Amino acid sequence: MCTTKWDKDSIINKIEEVGYVFIEFVNFKKVSSRIKVWCGNPEHDAYEVCFNNFNSGNRCSKCSKENVAEKFKFHYEDVQKYIESFGYELLSNEYKNNRVKLDMKCPEGHIFKMRFSDFKNNNRRCPICSGVKKYEFEEVNEYVESFGYKLLSTEYVNAKEQIIVTCPNEKHDSYGVTFDAFKNNKSRCMECAIENRSGEKNHNYNPNKTDEERNNSRSNSKYRQFVKDVLKLSDYTCQVTSVRGGKLVVHHLNGYNWHINGRMDVNNVVVISQKIHMKFHAIYGYGYNTKEQWEEFVKMQELIK
């Protein structure tokens, strides 16, 4: 088997043989030499490559991409023929690439713009026929008001941009929602939703419970909101380790079961990780815990420096 002895001359000859321009040896090590070459295209830069890789077919990356793009590029006639096969009409006189939108007309006479890739790969074509049309401000306003809501925004961009609305209950705050979500009933007033799922309206409502038992439950809406507010106030960060995120717990310094006035007092709670919470109760048990126990625990664990 004949093996080529790669000296400088033979390397340069090989480079020029495939139509590239040799510029210099960055580091000469025979077949493992680091070389700088240029493909000859004025729009492409010279680049460095190991000669062994070059000889194995590793050439200019920009040339390779252009060759692939050209291989899979659609021509205007092909695009026109494909669009017309569905009864649509191509109104644009030029096709550049998949990223440029084309003017089209559907069988119903609606004119719209769409990328060829979207037309080819999507089940939905004409946005008007398929119901995916852009609404005017007046249409959005009329739809929102038909549910007793009020549109506070003064302009409408599209179905994915938020609009500001307020519900029929004057005590509830206004909020932002996309028209898409509002239209599909995915995001109406959260305060109304909570009220409609609370108390006797909740499917888990137990009429046999007393008011005192309901207030003692951590599942009541006021307490759940308190926990959310405390977590947000702490920036969702463990107040012991300063680690943000993860599984967090709102721990009561003076126990929830006995210190009734401190159940929703921000000065009686700390946000800590679930791991630290379990460690605390493993030592001091559950129920009738105190602030002094917490201070002793923190000092004992040397968690705060």
Residues 97 and 111 in one domain: yes
Per-residue pLDDT, 1 = 45
Per-residue pLDDT, 245 = 87
Per-residue pLDDT, 186 = 56
First to last CA, the chain: 73
Residues 239 and 296 in one domain: yes
Per-residue pLDDT, 253 = 95
Residues 296 and 225 in one domain: yes
Residues 99 and 154 in one domain: no
pTM of structure: 0.35
| Domain extent for 110 | 73-121
Residues 142 and 189 in one domain: yes
- 108 assigned to some structural domain: yes
Per-residue pLDDT, 75 = 85
Residues 244 and 226 in one domain: yes
Residue ranges in the chain whose pLDDT is less than 50? 1, 303
- 145 assigned to some structural domain: yes
- 203 assigned to some structural domain: no
Residues 192 and 232 in one domain: no
Residues 56 and 103 in one domain: no
Per-residue pLDDT, 248 = 92
Q: Convert the pLDDT of each residue in 287-304 to its tens digit.
A: 889 999 999 988 887 645
Residues 151 and 183 in one domain: yes
Tell me the C-alpha to C-alpha distance, in Å, between residue 181 and each of 153, 157, 187, 196: 16, 15, 5, 19
Residues 106 and 143 in one domain: no
- 215 assigned to some structural domain: no
- 63 assigned to some structural domain: yes
- 129 assigned to some structural domain: no
Question: How many domains is the chain built from?
Answer: 4
User: For the chain, how many residues are written?
Assistant: 305
Per-residue pLDDT, 224 = 85
- 157 assigned to some structural domain: yes
- 207 assigned to some structural domain: no
Residues 54 and 86 in one domain: no
